[in-house]
Amino acid sequence: MRSGHAPRGVSADDLTTRARIRDAAVLRFGRDGFGTPLRAIATDAAVSAGLVIHHFGTKERLREACDEHVLDQIRHAKQDNLGEASGGRFLEYLATAEQFAPVFAYVLRSLQHGGPLAATFVDHMVRDAVDYLAEGVAAGVIVPSRDEPARARYLVLSSLGAGLLAMTVDPPRDPTDLAAMMRRHVDAITLPALELYTEGFLTTRRMLDEYLLYVSDPPPAGEHAP
């Protein structure tokens, strides 16, 4: 290999062995989950298992490095299509763009297993949704909510969770075709989602009004009242 000894402060986009290992790990983790053997990652990177430890110290630290790198990639993805597919469509873009398939698979695995990246990613999404919804409300194309942050979080959890669950319950045979499965999922839910978003599905305001009345009165044994 040409590497020689790598410069200490490896920056973002280098093809050093260390980066190759990290990329292989992102791929494997995304495909097979975080239980995947270290030796499999090593083999994928054409490297011995010991070297992985030599570079990252620990499997968990390797995962942390992956988390960080994936988060960077997401930030890049977000800038790549600033305005082109803003707000609600960014998730769709990330999920179905072949280019980001490994990153998205890794994110999905993180959401499935939990951990810091999952929480960070959801928070990111919620913050974006808040902004996006606020713009929509200001422009008059989105109806305001009585609790904007709660709505943003609800919408993010729902759409993200639906996708996650769809992939978990009916996992792709060829793990490479996650993007294709995601496209199928999006196709399947777009119509009912748009229906719900524009028409709702309750014909009366009764349930909502009753709930609003309920929360305005002190509930009989409330545990927390925001």
User: Under the rule (CB under 8 A), what is the footprint of its own copies?
Assistant: 35, 111-114, 118-119, 122, 133, 140-143, 145-147, 150-151, 153-155, 157-166, 168-171, 183-184, 188-205, 207-208, 211, 215, 223-224
Whichever of 40 and 130 has its CB closer to DNA, that residue is: 40
Q: Which residue reads 């959801």 in tokens? A: 122
List of residues 6+ apart from 164 with CB closer than 8 A: 108, 111, 112
Interface with DNA includes 58 (CB under 7 A)?
A: yes
Q: Whole-number minimum distance, CB 39 to DNA, in Å?
A: 6
- Report helix, strand or coil for 104: helix
Separation CA 122–CA 174 (nearest Å): 27
Interface with DNA includes 55 (CB under 7 A)?
A: yes
Whichever of 15 and 119 has its CB closer to its own copies, that residue is: 119
Interface with DNA includes 50 (CB under 7 A)?
A: yes
Q: How many residues bind DNA (CB under 7 A)?
A: 25
What is the CA 80 to chain-centroid distance, rounded? 17
The 10 Å CB-count burial string (b at 16+, else e) for 159-176 is bbeebbebbeeeebeeee
Whichever of 41 and 95 has its CB closer to DNA, that residue is: 41
Q: Is the separation of the CB atoms in 181 and 187 below 8 Å?
A: no
Q: Is the separation of the CB atoms in 147 and 126 below 8 Å?
A: no
Q: What is the DSSP letter of 218?
A: P
Whichever of 38 and 134 has its CB closer to DNA, that residue is: 38
190 binds, among its own copies, DNA, none (CB under 5 to 8 A by kind): its own copies
Q: Which residues bind DNA (CB under 7 A)?
A: 1, 3-6, 17-18, 36-40, 46-51, 53-55, 57-60
